[in-house]
Chains A and B, each alone.
Chain A
């Protein structure tokens, strides 16, 4: 029996609107991989997520076009990669490490650009998310 993906996408406020739009990338990837729905919650052998609140910043000028928001992308591309990696068939431990590496790359880019970079002050929140992202349970689990 094939894997299935379950994504809930409420859009009742700005945060869920952003997450919903960014989840479209995951859904597209799932479809490209020939998967319909993957339920990560039922019978879970691993948990991929955050042990503290996930923070992200967004540009209020981009609310109508969340996918063009480069500030939000700094946060949501690495976190989205958790699911993208699973869809590519990678195990949970790898997905977590690779996603953290993407957070680190974004931090590194901002450090190199220096304090004049528009999102230089986002580093502390990227660091927080990276630090608190965890893979609990089976690190070899795949979907």
Chain B
């Protein structure tokens, strides 16, 4: 099936956004201290900052999780829900 020009354009934009997001996440990971490691769920391996960056670049399952964590945090900042939840700590 031949894609309509508009669909092609949308797909291209989606891919570009995806690349932008990856670069944003990598940029933020680069700010982390290299002397600390990550333990993630039941993964037996621990990850350094640089290993996580590589996982994001390769879009592995771990890389996608890293992106999800970053985007969840950035959305909370944007929507003000992070501070809101911090300030209502006593439930």
- Greatest chain B CB density within 10 A among A53, A100, A130 is at A53
CA of A121 to CA of B46, assembled, Å: 18
Residues of A within 8 A of B86 (CB): 104, 107-108, 111
Q: Mark A12-33, 1 if CB is under 8 A from B, else 0.
A: 1111001000000000000000
Q: A13-B44, A54-B41, A127-B82 are in contact. Are A104 and B89 (CB under 8 A)?
A: yes
* B65 in complex: contacting residue of A53, A118, A123, CB < 8 Å: A53
How many A-B pairs have beta carbons closer than 8 Å: the answer is 76
Contact A131 B72 (CB under 8 A): yes
With CB as the reference atom, state the residue of chain B lying closest to A123.
B73
With CB as the reference atom, state the residue of chain A lying closest to B71.
A124
* B72 in complex: contacting residue of A56, A60, A128, CB < 8 Å: A128
What are some 16 contacts across the A-B interface (CB < 8 A)?
A: A12-B44, A13-B45, A14-B37, A15-B39, A15-B44, A18-B39, A53-B41, A57-B37, A60-B37, A100-B91, A101-B90, A104-B86, A108-B86, A124-B69, A125-B69, A127-B72
A residues engaging B (CB < 8 A)? 12-15, 18, 52-61, 71, 97, 100-101, 104-105, 107-108, 111, 118, 121, 123-125, 127-128, 130-131
Contact B35 A61 (CB under 8 A): yes
**Count of chain B residues with Cβ under 8 Å from any Cβ of A?**
28
Contact B36 A60 (CB under 8 A): yes
Q: Mark B64-91, 1 if CB is under 8 A from A, else 0.
A: 0100011011001000001101100111
Sample of 9 further A-B pairs with CB below 8 A, known A13-B46, A125-B38: A13-B44, A53-B40, A58-B39, A97-B91, A101-B89, A104-B85, A107-B82, A125-B69, A127-B72
